[in-house]
Structure formats: structure tokens, C-alpha cells
């Protein structure tokens, strides 16, 4: 399996990073894609990808920090995307739930990062919360950029609109939550060839470990729940989601 969206670049893993990576491997998670949320975490994600063969990096600025965007931010990202282990731009997008940055700033910085993704021919990892329609409209402006809706929590009807644009979707711990029947109903209708799995660790820890720090080894619980929802075996889900992840991120499987 591949954890398509992790944050091992988060301070939560400072003390036991190597052990966490070992436990992931023992749980069947062979590769991990670390996603940046600001310049520091993006740079550290690259550093980790250099240190560990099976780690990869995504670099970008989270909508929470859109207000900090400057020309220097863009210059720094332009340098980072040249690294051979950088797979995508992100996570970028819109978050109208917390509004930690002004919405106009979020829109502008989202467009800036999609424009960069288009320029350097990389896909984009999208964060969208309480902003589904506006996220869709901006993605339409850059319809030639492959987009992944990370930790998707919207309706199936909205997902259909994203699918028309060729988007992919990743699901994590929330599909295991006891009160997540609506989300599971959405997942059950999703075309599996568009589905990836993720942890978003250290956040969104799946059942039965809710309340604890999430980590890539717990991807297994999401895979098991997806297998249950879709009527497939765990082995089939592991294979399908791995293939989808490699296709989206253009990640070649090594022998």
C-alpha cells in the first residue's frame, strides 16, 4: 500500500520518525508521500525523501497560510519542484471553515499554485473545506492540471462534477468513524479507479485508535474499511489504490 497523504514532516514525529517508518513497512505500507503545508514543512519533506528511499514529497502552501504568500514564496517553490523526489504541488486549495487567511488571498494563492503546477507539468493536491463549489470553479480554470481531492468529504453529486474534470479522490480515517454513514455512502458510489487512500497523519486517526496520534501504519484500517464498503478483498483494494496512486503521481514502481 501507499500512504498518499502523510505529514511525517510534522513535529509530532520528531522523536520516533524511524520507528514510525519501520512500523509502516511492517503493516504493509511500502511508500509514503509527505505533503507540505508551508515552506518549512515542504523543505523538510524533501529532506526526508532524500534520507529514506520510500518517502516522497509534495510541496506547497496550505490555504490557512495563504496570507503569507509573497514572490519569495513562489521563488522558493520553483526551486523545490526541480527536486526529483517532488511529485506534486500542494496541499493548496480553499478552507472557508476556519478562514485563517482572507478568502480572496486563498483564491489568489490557489490559482498561483495551480498555475505553477501547469507550468512545471506536475499534478496538484487539493484541500477543500466548506468551499466545494468555488474549489470546483477554480479547478475548471486549470482543467489541464491533474487534481487530487485529499480527504474528500463532499457529496457524490459534487464528486461527479470533479470526475468530469478527471479528478481523483483520497479517503482516510474518517471513513472508519462510527458516525460517518453519509461519507461511507458516498465512498460506496465512487468509481474505484479514481480512489486513493491516505492517513493525513498525525491527524484524523482511524477507529479503533481515535484520540491517539495517527501514523502511516494505520492506513491498514482505512484499507480494510474501504474493502468492506466496496465489496472487495483487502488485497484487491491494496492493489487498486496503489495503482491509482502511481498513476496520479506518475510514480514508477521499483523492483
The pLDDT tens digits of the residues spanning 142-174 come to: 999 999 999 999 999 999 999 999 999 999 999
How large is the average pLDDT for residues 88-96? 98
Q: Say if residue 254's pLDDT is above 80.
A: no
Cell of 213: 496520534
Residue 252's pLDDT is 86
Q: What are 19's three cell numbers?
A: 520507528
The percent of residues in the chain predicted with pLDDT above 90, rounded, is 98
pTM: 0.97
Asked if residue 21 has pLDDT above 90, the reply is: yes
Contact predicate 123/249, CB 8 Å:
yes
Q: Residue range 49-54: average pLDDT? A: 97
Residue 93 has pLDDT above 80, yes or no: yes
Cα(238)–Cα(180) distance, integer angstroms: 22
Cell triple for 151: 480527504
Query: What's residue 29's pLDDT?
Result: 98
- In 3D space, the residue among 136, 55, 127 whose CA is nearest the CA of residue 89 turns out to be 127
Please give the average per-residue pLDDT across 85-108, as a whole number.
98
Spatial separation of the C-alpha atoms in residues 24 and 14, rounded to whole Å: 16
pLDDT band of 255, cuts 50, 70, 90 = low
Q: Give yes or no for residue 136 having a pLDDT over 80.
A: yes
Confidence band of 134 (pLDDT split at 50, 70, 90): very high
CB of 106 within 8 A of CB of 71?
no
Chain centre distance of CA 185: 21
Average pLDDT, the chain: 97
Q: Which three cell numbers stand for residue 27?
A: 503493516
**Cα separation of the two ends of the chain:** 15
Residues 69, 105: contact at Cβ < 8 Å? yes
How much is the pLDDT for 253?
Answer: 81
- Chain mean position to CA 124: 9
Mean pLDDT for the stretch of residues 216-231: 98
Complete domains list, the chain, with CATH: 2-249 (3.20.20.140)
User: Are the CB atoms for 28 and 62 separated by under 8 Å?
Assistant: no
Separation between Cα atoms, residue 125 and residue 66, nearest integer Å: 15
Confidence band for 194, pLDDT divided at 50, 70 and 90: very high
Q: How far apart, in Å, are the Cα atoms of 167 and each of 162, 164, 214?
A: 5, 7, 26
Q: Which of 204, 200, 192 is nearest to 242 (CA)?
A: 192
Amino acid at each position: 500500500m501507499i500512504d498518499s497523504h502523510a505529514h511525517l514532516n510534522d513535529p509530532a514525529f520528531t522523536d520516533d520518525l524511524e520507528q514510525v517508518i519501520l512500523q509502516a513497512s511492517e503493516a504493509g505500507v511500502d511508500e509514503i508521500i509527505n505533503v507540505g503545508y508551508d515552506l518549512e514543512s515542504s523543505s523538510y519533506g524533501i529532506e526526508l525523501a532524500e534520507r529514506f528511499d520510500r518517502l516522497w514529497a509534495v510541496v506547497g502552501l496550505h490555504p490557512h497560510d495563504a496570507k503569507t504568500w509573497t514572490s519569495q514564496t513562489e521563488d522558493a517553490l520553483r526551486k523545490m519542484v526541480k527536486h526529483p523526489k517532488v511529485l506534486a504541488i500542494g496541499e493548496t486549495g480553499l478552507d472557508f471553515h476556519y478562514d485563517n487567511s482572507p478568502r480572496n488571498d486563498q483564491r489568489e494563492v490557489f490559482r498561483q499554485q495551480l498555475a505553477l503546477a501547469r507550468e512545471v507539468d506536475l499534478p496538484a493536491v487539493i484541500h477543500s473545506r466548506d468551499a466545494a463549489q468555488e474549489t470546483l470553479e477554480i479547478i475548471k480554470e486549470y482543467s489541464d492540471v491533474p487534481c487530487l481531492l485529499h480527504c474528500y468529504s463532499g457529496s457524490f453529486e459534487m464528486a461527479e462534477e470533479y470526475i468530469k474534470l478527471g479528478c481523483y479522490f483520497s479517503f482516510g480515517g474518517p471513513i472508519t468513524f462510527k458516525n460517518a454513514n453519509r461519507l461511507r455512502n458516498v465512498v460506496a458510489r465512487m468509481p474505484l479507479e479514481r480512489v486513493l487512500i491516505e492517513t493525513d497523519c498525525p491527524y484524523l486517526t482511524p477507529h479503533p485508535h481515535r484520540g491517539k496520534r495517527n501514523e502511516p501504519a494505520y492506513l491498514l484500517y482505512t484499507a480494510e474499511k474501504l474493502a468492506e464498503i466496496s465489496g472487495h478483498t483487502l488485497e484487491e483494494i491494496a492493489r487498486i489504490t496503489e495503482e491509482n496512486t502511481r498513476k496520479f503521481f506518475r510514480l514508477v514502481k521499483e523492483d
